[in-house]
Amino acid sequence: FRRRALKLGREFVRQGRLDSVEQIFNLSMAEISKAQTDVDMELRPLVEAHLQPYRIVEHVQTWPLLIDSRGKILRENRRTTDSQDPNVLLADPVAPGKIRGKAKVLKSPYEKPVFSGEVLVARFTEPSWTPIFINASAVVMEVGGPLQHGAIIAREYGIPCVSGLENATSLISDGDVLEVDGSLGAVRFVDKE
């Protein structure tokens, strides 16, 4: 399907009906089918209409983790351990195990390489991130739960994973030595002790 869509996208660009090949993915199947038979059909306004909901929220940097049924944003103040150890951050345990490694903070899957043994730290992951997990010794995510893609892949690969660690990509820097405990849901800064 993707190859066929890209072929049609190239054709619509060549006809001057789209600005880029990728815009084909901003059209519905019905619109694409109709556009194939109706050469006068304007596609740019349809693309713009489909992108409008995304433009409304493109300024949002971070989404709340929890919103109640009334629309109230709930922010949990996570405590560290009982001893209030400033080097420990608590999250949700989603894949068991305990490991130490250097952090690699990524905002997108191929922004920089993750080397063997590094701890992948990300806002979230989705299927395109799967190859990154091969080298990761553990995963720390800001968003997600036990059924989130990253948690499932971490369990499949047998690596510790925690999620729900708000601002993890800001609190943790590349090279920080971390101990990730996926059984307890704890991330400890080893090099700051």
* Residue 113 CB neighbour total at 10 angstroms: 10
CA distance 161 to 36: 47
Question: Residue 2 class from Cβ within 10 Å (0-12 exposed, 13-18 middle, 19+ buried)?
Answer: exposed
Active site residue 50: no
Q: Do 64 and 74 form a contact (C-beta atoms < 8 A)?
A: yes
Q: Choose, from 10, 34, 100, 149, the residue flagged as catalytic.
A: 149
Tokens for 3, please give them.
């190859």
Backbone angles phi, psi at 19, to 5 degrees: -85, -30
Listed residue (151, 163, 153) closest to 123, CA to CA: 163
Q: Do 18 and 12 form a contact (C-beta atoms < 8 A)?
A: yes
CA distance 169 to 141: 8
Residues identified as active-site = 149
